[in-house]
A and B are shown apart, each in its own frame.
Chain A
Amino acid sequence: MLLSDAHVYKKYEVKHIQGDELVRIMEMGLTPGSICEVIRRAPMGYPMEIKIRGYLLSLRKKETDAVEVSPK
């Protein structure tokens, strides 16, 4: 499933990153095998705030669509 469809307060394992910006996304710590937790969504639904490697990162739909995850 995509990170975009993930639920708030749930934890997911990052499976795969796709798209043009995958290096940028991975550099921020979203590497395959890492665990992320969805913290909240912004007032308009996006960006989505996640906790990854102990810090808070926000991503827009375009970026969450590029991240494939599985429930943990």
Chain B
Amino acid sequence: MSNLTINVQKELLRQPSTIALVGNPNTGKSTIFNALTGLRQKIANYPGITVERKMGTTIINGVLHKIIDLPGAYSLNHKKADERITYETLIGSYDHEEKPDLLLMVVDASNLERNLFLASQVMDLQIPILMVLTMSDIADERGIRIQSQQLSNVWGVPVVSINARSKQCDLQIKQALVEQGVATPKPFQWNPSKPLRQAVERLDREWLSEHTQLPERARPIEALRLLAEGNFEDSFYQYSEEGKAKKLIEELQNTLEAQGENPTAAEVVQRYRFIGDSSEGSVTKEQRDEQTLTDRLDNVFTHRVAGPVIFVLVLLVMFQSIFSWATPFMDMIDMLFIEFGAYVSSSLPAGLLNSLLVDGIIAGLGGVVIFLPQIIFLFLFIYFLEGTGYMARAAFVMDGFMTKVGLHGRSVVPLMSGFACAIPGIMATRTIENWRDRLITIMILPFMACSARLPVYAVMIAAFVPDKRIIGFLTLQGLVFFGLYLFGIVMAVGSAAVMKRIFPTGKPTPFLMELPPYKWPNISSVVIQSLERGKIFITEAGKIIVAISIILWVLASFPTYEPTANDLADMDANRQMSEQMLSTLQLNQSYAGNFGQWIEPAIEPLGFDWKIGIGLLTSFAAREVMVGTLNTIYSIEETEKQLGLIERLRSEIDPETGLPKYNLATALSLMIFFAIAMQCMSTLAIVKRETNSWKWPLVMFGYMTVLAYFSAWITFEWANTFLLG
């Protein structure tokens, strides 16, 4: 069983190579990736599908290497899109990913057997490997000691034990790569039974080698899968002569059964048997009766009553903190952009170019950058909670409730990601294997208050909700903010319950969710990932926002208004008033003004005027454009002092009544509208791709717009009657 002759390779790292990280979810794989690459990461979707490709670079001994963080998987039986990518990349037949030269096989020491299951499949593929053991401290706490040398002897690959939470975990890995090197494991080290081995060989020889383009080293794994499953349903290769193969597989299955093997179970059972037997020499377990940290924390966090209560509290604290911590940063950014705009405005000659730079570009950029603090704080929370292991508990505690409303415990994570942005959330629904559960999750996901709504909420709350303290650290502003998030959740739950009745039932989803041990996350990894999200927001949303800000500036600035003789006479009498009036007249008769005024009658019952009307239309491109639009509109209506948008909204006077134009009722109505309306073409585009039809994005846009209109209407009437009347 033991394999003392390891064929160690150290020269691989002397030239630039591609290193892939492989492992189960929750093993610290991402932490290692972040430690190795830092901010030298490139995160984008794989073409055609919605799984994120995480690529980065690292330098080992002066040589630059590529690092790929492959999606976490429990098995290579490739049923889900992300597992397929891992499998296809490993066998080198995925068009959109480089074939890795060597692998870092990440293995959780506290959960060795299940981790070695995937590792044993990966090792069958004969790629040079360094096995990286993580979470030894948690294993220690449970009385598990792993002899790395023994493990290395059993599997024939070098093994290094690291602490993924330490700042130097990248150095530990680099040192191991240089000193211990990597080794190519031999296939079938897990001692498959003779009948199974023969069946694999026959399937390989008589069919896979002739009729598929699979590389030789991938064929045994494929043969095992076909023997177990016996179907081609989720096969991504075009097989020729399927009929012949089916007959052969059936024959082999029958032979196996005759020899006393269950063809479906054989591979899994035998791998686990070998792992169990072989770990006897390399793992020592002390029987410990006292509860571990995880046991004690779970007694509270997954408690029948306390669990759900804590979950709601976690959300409450999260959103209150984001709101209060982000504000000083936002004020600072706001001020910087106002100062910068004023500086540019005064140092360039007045005119169209000046206006374009200051009112179009700088104001638009300011509208993007200002919300970076909130986005980063939100993701700090999300990644932190994920890193602690709490997110899985949230799914466990909520699953009972989620299934009641037609969702899935796994819907919680995408839905929570939806708090940052619906787009990654909708992409994350890929982990829900059942189509119906997934579709319902996608259809309600935009109700989760995404970060693009934060700008609108933040401006409206700061401008119109009194900054009153309620209890302790809770303010009325924070409470309204939380209320909006809760409202989105309630709408989501209600819609899901309705859709559950309407949408046809499908095959129920297998629910096998791991609850990883609680641990203190690697903070720098949490920070890196949050900054990466910020970067994605700036580069991807930012482009659209700035572009639309410029288009809007054009729409608002043309056709240019020619002052009449009367206007000029007025200007002589009262210079300041007339300039404001001129700007208003300019905007009124611009393309944008015409557009806003055209839809004003339709949105008047909601308490919106034509300026908000312009914002509603432009914000279809992205919700946060609303604020950019208002910024641009009000920058063009220059007052003597450049006030921030919040001050400007508060001081806006209705010329007919002489009263403030916007009040609490308008603010609430607008926020409710934004909580529900499908004001985001990027979301619709991703839904089209995920559902592969225009039907679902159209249904989504339709039902959400109708729901938003009536909810905002009711809110406006209610607020006017009960809050202001």
Contact = CB atoms under 8 A, between A and B. Distances in A.
B496 to A, nearest CB: 16
Contact of B510 (A21, A31, A32, A39): A21
A43 B511 CA distance: 16
Contacts of A28: 74, 114, 512, 514
B397 interface: yes
A63 to B, nearest CB: 6
A24 B516 CA distance: 18
Contact of B113 (A29, A32, A58): A29
B1 interface: no
Contacts of B111: 53-55
B304 interface: yes
A49 B305 CA distance: 16
Interface string B352-365: 00000000000000
Nearest to A17: B265
Contacts of B403: 44, 46, 60
Contacts of B516: 55-56
A9 B224 CA distance: 36
B110 A34 contact: no
Contact of B515 (A20, A53, A57): A57
A23 B397 CA distance: 26
B117 A29 contact: yes
Interface in A1-59: 17, 20-29, 31-32, 34, 39-47, 49, 53-59
Contacts of A22: 264-265
Contact of B513 (A29, A31, A47): A47
A23 B79 CA distance: 11
A22 to B, nearest CB: 6
B686 interface: no
Contact of A42 (B75, B144, B272, B302): B302
B268 A26 contact: yes
Given A23-B229, A29-B272, A57 B510 contact: no
Nearest to A27: B75
A58 B269 contact: no
Contacts of B144: 54
B493 to A, nearest CB: 14
B112 interface: yes
B113 A54 contact: yes
Contacts of B77: 23, 27
A31 B114 contact: no
Contacts of A29: 113-114, 117, 272
Contacts of B142: 54
Interface in B278-294: 294
Given A26-B272, A44-B399, A55-B111, 18 more contacts: A22-B265, A25-B510, A26-B268, A28-B74, A42-B397, A44-B404, A47-B396, A49-B302, A49-B396, A55-B514, A56-B298, A56-B515, A57-B512, A57-B513, A58-B399, A59-B511, A60-B399, A63-B512
Identify the 8 closest CB pairs spanning chains A and B, nearest first. A44-B400, A56-B515, A60-B511, A21-B510, A26-B268, A55-B111, A53-B113, A27-B75
13 contacts: A23-B229, A24-B75, A29-B114, A29-B272, A32-B265, A42-B302, A42-B304, A43-B401, A44-B403, A47-B513, A49-B396, A60-B409, A60-B511
